[in-house]
Copies of this chain bind each other. A is one copy, B any other.
Amino acid sequence: MSLFSKYETLIHEAMKATAVRNYYTPYPEIPKFYAEDGDAKAKAYISTVMNNNFAELKQEAHDGWIGEEISPYLQLGIGVKYPNSSADHYVAMAEKAQLQWSKVSIEDRAGLLVEVLERLKTRFFDIAYATMHTTGQSFMMSFQASGPHSNDRALEAVIEGYKQLTSMPAQATWTKPMGKFDLVVNKNWRAIPKGVGLVIGCSTFPIWNTVPALFANLITGNASIVKPHPKAVLPIAIVVGEIQKLLSENGLDSNTVQLAVDTLDKPITKKLAEHPSVKLVDYTGGSVFGEYIEGLQHKTVFTEKAGVNSIILDSARQLAPVMQNIAFSASLYSGQMCTAPQNIFIPEGGVKTDDGLVSYDDAVKLLCDSIQGLVTNPKAGAPTLGAIQSDATYKRLQDASGLGGRVLLASMPIKNEEFADARVASPAVIELTREQQNVFNHECFGPIVFVVKTKSTDDSIALAKNLAKTKGAITCGAYTTDNAIQSTIETEMNSVFTPVSFNFTGAAFINSHAAFSDMHVTGGNPAGNGSLTSAEFIVKRFVWVGNRFM
């Protein structure tokens, strides 16, 4: 039985899900649904991998072994080394592999890629610990984000690719009535892959932000080079290893996907991105490098850069659950999510609630109390915050008090019971006036929350809209009980290509974008031009070519 037949039911269910947009996942997000001994085995696996050459890749180390990852929990180098080769070597190998991979049928590609995801299921615990000790995510987020949620996103890309590539008939007979005779022409259509793809990862979500592009490249027939952030390699190395193994087992060139590791001192990203044979570039990371990527000529590029996410607070039935929700969204993984809220716009006139008007000051106090309550909660605090990934983010947080605003809540160290040296710090909450736009009009990545006192909800909307238009936004939260205001916020923020989540409380958070239902980065504002997983995310990776035969 071919791998396609094996997964045909799953593929058709997933296709239906992309059309219906209701909740769907073939990969449960709770660890207990996977192997009982998964956790114990993964801990042992990680101990073996650390301070060793990573042996799971089918790549040769032409230029030795390199690696410089540091665990935010241990504050120690994890000592994993990866095979090193030159940029030219990676591209040459990818070009060779592309010739073969582009000839594999869409069905066989789909079957192979779903099989990869099924095998990754058995690695979710390994991947979770690898993610923890590179990104600083908590165990639960590491498991969910790098495991099932990444698999969902990868499957979604495979499914959209399968849908697009089967949207044209493989062949057809075209019969034109010409009066006395029929003109008959046989035709075929081929989806020709654009060329070698480069997928540039980030330091905080090394799998979630990489696999959609990687699987989109692969399903459309493009060999790919994964260039992870030098501080977050191990999680995606496990994924690439599994793909390479399956390719080899099926008699295919394992260089169809290669891992290209570099170091901060000797980066190879530009060399790879500028190589004339690299036709597709996917990038997640800071805006300056992202704009360089977007400026590359004769390449198809998809970016996810920085965005400034706003919360517009107008009114609510009750304010306490609202502030608890915002507190969690802002604290989760120490604000190191591209979807974390940064600017909380609150009108000076206060917030209307069922229990009467809550003054601006009381609303702000409620927010600060909610954050303080969450982060100091012995059970919830440390697991919510995770650890801070980079020195730069930690320094930015330390410097936040000097930004010019009034410190409402200072960041403080939080104890992680399991890891004594973990770099954990609670969010700083800073109050700014609406005139201090030079402070709040750019992304301050990490656990920094700005409360901005505005003149009115209209003022809040105008500020959030302008920010999204000029600086980009990936998401926006809004709280209002007024239908007219809700409609205005929706129209205004959508007009600058920003999605809005309204009145989220309880278990719904603006940070979460679910595969098969939510897009991620709309592609319309400066936060980036990519979008998971729209038709555009797929169709730009190949070209339809039609042939005609008499």
Instruction: Knowing A174-B21, A192-B497, A502-B549, say if A531 contacts B544 (CB, 8 Å).
Output: yes
Asked if B185 and A547 sit within 8 Å, CB to CB, the answer is no
In the complex, whether A466 has a CB less than 8 A from a CB of chain B is: no
> Residue on B with the closest CB to A297?
B295
Asked if A508 and B545 sit within 8 Å, CB to CB, the answer is no
A161-184: CB near B (< 8 Å → 1, else 0) gives 000100111001111111001010
Q: Which residues of B contact A269 (CB under 8 A)?
A: none
Interchain CA distance A547-B494 in the complex, whole Å: 9
> Residue on B with the closest CB to A171?
B21
Instruction: Knowing A185-B508, A494-B547, A535-B539, say if A23 contacts B177 (CB, 8 Å).
Output: yes
In the complex, whether A401 has a CB less than 8 A from a CB of chain B is: no
A91 CB, nearest partner CB in chain B, Å: 17
Assign chain A's interface to a size class: 35 or more
A348 CB, nearest partner CB in chain B, Å: 26
From B23, B168, B519, give the contact of A176 (CB < 8 A). B23
A409 CB, nearest partner CB in chain B, Å: 26
Interchain CA distance A189-B514 in the complex, whole Å: 14
Q: Which residues of B contact A546 (CB under 8 A)?
A: 499, 517-519
Interchain CA distance A284-B545 in the complex, whole Å: 20
Interchain CA distance A545-B490 in the complex, whole Å: 10
Asked if B549 and A503 sit within 8 Å, CB to CB, the answer is yes
Q: Which residues of B contact A549 (CB under 8 A)?
A: 501-503
Asked if A535 and B172 sit within 8 Å, CB to CB, the answer is no
Asked if A545 and B187 sit within 8 Å, CB to CB, the answer is no
A509 CB, nearest partner CB in chain B, Å: 10
Q: List 15 additional contacts besides A187-B517, A295-B297; criterion CB under 8 Å.
A: A21-B187, A22-B172, A22-B173, A23-B175, A23-B177, A164-B535, A181-B507, A183-B507, A192-B524, A500-B548, A501-B548, A502-B549, A531-B543, A531-B544, A536-B540
Residues of A within 8 A of B (CB): 19-23, 164, 167-169, 172-178, 181, 183, 185, 187, 189-190, 192, 194, 295, 297, 490, 494-495, 497-508, 514, 517-519, 522-524, 531, 534-536, 539-540, 543-550
